[in-house]
DNA sequence: GACATCTTGGGTTTTTCACTCATAAAGTGA
DNA sequence: TCACTTTATGAGTGAAAAACCCAAGATGTC
């Protein structure tokens, strides 16, 4: 399963936000970037996309930062993929030539089962459960 | 499901070869390329890979060409992927940061289910069943 | 108003994709 | 043996995408 760095970053950042969900404090980009080893400048773009999609909310200025817009159990992995790498969910098969149709049909089935799979995973499944070493700022 | 052109070409070419399996004649590259709308020069490379992997056999010179090495029912979609785009089957997750581990675990599960899925599809499933318009040379 | 933080848009570097082309190797038929 | 046909192989190329970096602006808090 070839997943892009961008998608992995998004999953990790969301999981990290999930860990502090309910503590009603916002997390800074730099904090997220440090904890998950993500280039800060790149993470900003990803968080921006997630915010525009309504998965994350943010505030500017001093004591600004990011937080989940919903509970980790209410956000599916599929929603994250949809924001960051929508092509992974759509089945883009050309379907040209004599066997194009049948080949495309098979891939459509495979894609459908993949979609169902990522839809059943929730953000909570991406979060570590036990005691986690975290550095709050 | 974002599949590369190369993989789709491979599926279509293999399916096309499957259609003439058992007729003990070899198919030319140009014939395959025409029937499946694939750039001939590119198709040569793909067929070469498939041959090195033992999925296809070939002969040069006049009356040369390509044919399946096994029956369409005995070749799984997974084998084709393994040759043309192996990254799709391996789960390349970095797994860095605080949530890297858990995120990687989830993707491993998803990848495993994907592998099983493509393993259950056979080349025969990619071939059109009814009467097909084909131009034999 | 000073400062910290998010926001936005553009730019850059590296890699991958999807080919093309030239040349070599090998088989066929005369 | 020679001409011809077909596959074999490796190098090269143009465009696009991936993975970033940076700067200037907007918006908060103190």
Does residue B31 sit within a domain? Answer: yes
**What pLDDT does B11 receive?**
98
Which pLDDT value is given to residue A30? 96
Question: In this prediction, what percent of chain A has a pLDDT beyond 90?
Answer: 87
pLDDT band at B50 (very low <50, low <70, confident <90, very high): very high
Per DSSP, the three-state class of B35 is helix
Instruction: Please indicate, yes or no, if residue A109 is contained in any of the structural domains.
Output: no
Taking CA B21 as the corner, what is the angle to CA B18 and CA B25, rounded to the nearest 5 degrees?
125
Task: Examine the pLDDT at B109 and tell me if it is beyond 70.
Answer: yes
Is the distance from CB of A43 to CB of A33 less than 8 angstroms? yes
pLDDT at A38 over 50: yes
CB contact under 8 A, B133 and A98: yes
Q: What pTM value is reported for the model? A: 0.92
Task: Report whether B37 contacts A96 (CB < 8 A).
Answer: yes
Tokens 């036990």 map to which residue? A130
Residue B1's pLDDT is 84
In chain B, the number of structural domains is 1
Q: Report the pLDDT averaged over residues A80-84.
A: 97
Q: Is the Cβ–Cβ distance between A56 and A69 less than 8 Å?
A: yes
For the cut 90, the answer to whether the pLDDT of residue B92 exceeds it is no
Judged against a pLDDT cut of 60, whether residue B131 lies above it is answered with no
- CB contact (8 A) between residue B132 and residue A98: yes
Question: What is the predicted pLDDT for the residue at A136?
Answer: 45
CB contact under 8 A, A110 and B125: no
Q: Which pLDDT score is estimated for A135?
A: 47
Q: How confident is the model over A52-77, as a mean pLDDT?
A: 96
Q: List the beta bridge partners of residue A119.
A: none
The percentage of chain A sitting over the pLDDT mark of 70, rounded to a whole number, equals 94
Alpha carbon distances (Å) from B36 to A32, A53, B9, B52, B82: 48, 40, 8, 22, 21
pLDDT at A137: 35
pLDDT band at B136 (very low <50, low <70, confident <90, very high): very low
Report the protein residue whose CA lies nearest the C1' of nucleotide C3. A62
Q: For residue B62, what are the domain limits?
A: 5-86
Residue B2's pLDDT is what? 84
Q: Which runs of consecutive H residues, i.e. helices, occur in chain A?
A: 5-19, 29-36, 40-52, 77-84, 100-120, 123-126
Chain A CB contacts of B33 under 8 Å are none
* pLDDT for A61 beyond 50: yes
Nearest chain A residue (CA) to B12: A99
- Rounded to the nearest angstrom, the minimum Cα separation between B85 and chain A is 10
Kindly state whether residue A17 falls inside one of the protein's structural domains: yes
For residue A91, what pLDDT band results from cuts at 50, 70 and 90? confident
CB burial readout B44-65, b (16+ within 10 A) else e: eebbeebeeeebbebeeeeeeb
> CB–CB of A99 and B133 under 8 A?
no
Residues A57, A67: Cα–Cα separation, whole Å: 6
* pLDDT value of residue B130: 63
Non-local (6+) Cβ contacts of A37 within 8 A are B96, B97, B100
| Cβ burial A71-84 (10 Å sphere, 16+ → b, else e) | ebeebbbbbbbbbb
Q: Which residues of A touch B128 (CB under 8 A)?
A: 98-99, 101-102
Flag whether pLDDT at B85 surpasses 60. yes
Residue B93 is assigned to a structural domain of this protein: no
According to DSSP, the residues that pair with B68 across neighbouring strands are B56
> CA at A20, C1' at D17: how many angstroms apart?
34
Q: Is the pLDDT of residue B54 over 50?
A: yes
Q: Whole-angstrom Cα distance, residue B50 to residue A124?
A: 42
CATH number of B32's domain: 1.10.10.10
Residue A106 lies in a domain: no
Rounded distance in angstroms from the CA atom of residue B65 to the C1' atom of nucleotide D12: 27
A102: in domain: no
Residue the block writes with tokens 């040759």? B83
Count Cα neighbours of B31 within 13 Å in the Cβ-side half-sphere. Answer: 18
In angstroms, the separation between the Cα of residue A36 and the nearest Cα of chain B is: 4
| Residue A92 pLDDT class (50, 70, 90 cuts) | confident
Tokens 């044919």 belong to which residue? B67
Q: Which of B42, B78, B91, B103 should we substitute to test contact with A (largest number of A Cβ atoms within 10 Å)?
A: B103
In this structure, is residue B47 part of a structural domain? yes
d(CA A124, CA A126): 5
- Nucleotide D23 C1' to residue A5 CA (A): 25
Please list the residues that pair with B122 across neighbouring strands.
B76
pLDDT at residue A132 in the model: 53
Number of Cβ within 10 Å of residue A27's Cβ equals: 22
Q: Give residue A130's pLDDT band: very low, low, confident or very high (50, 70, 90).
A: low
Measured distance CA(A62)–CA(A59) in Å, rounded: 9
Average pLDDT, chain A: 93
Rounded, the Å distance between the CA of B36 and C1' of C12 is 39
pLDDT at B91: 86
**Is B20 inside any structural domain?**
yes
Q: How confident is the model at residue A74 (pLDDT cuts 50, 70, 90)?
A: very high
- Spatial separation of the C-alpha atoms in residues B18 and B62, rounded to whole Å: 22
């Amino acid at each position: 399963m070839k997943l892009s760095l961008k998608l992995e970053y998004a999953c990790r950042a969301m999981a990290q936000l999930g860990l502090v969900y309910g503590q009603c404090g916002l997390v800074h980009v730099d904090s997220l970037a440090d904890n998950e080893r993500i280039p800060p400048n790149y993470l900003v773009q990803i968080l921006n996309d997630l915010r525009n999609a309504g998965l994350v909310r943010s505030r500017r200025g001093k004591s600004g930062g990011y937080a989940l817009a919903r509970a980790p159990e209410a956000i599916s992995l599929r929603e994250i993929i949809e924001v960051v790498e929508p092509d992974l969910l759509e089945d883009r098969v050309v379907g040209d030539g004599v066997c194009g149709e049948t080949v495309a049909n098979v891939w459509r089935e495979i894609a459908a089962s993949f979609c169902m799979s990522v839809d059943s995973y929730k953000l909570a499944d991406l979060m570590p459960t036990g005691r986690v070493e975290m550095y709050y700022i």
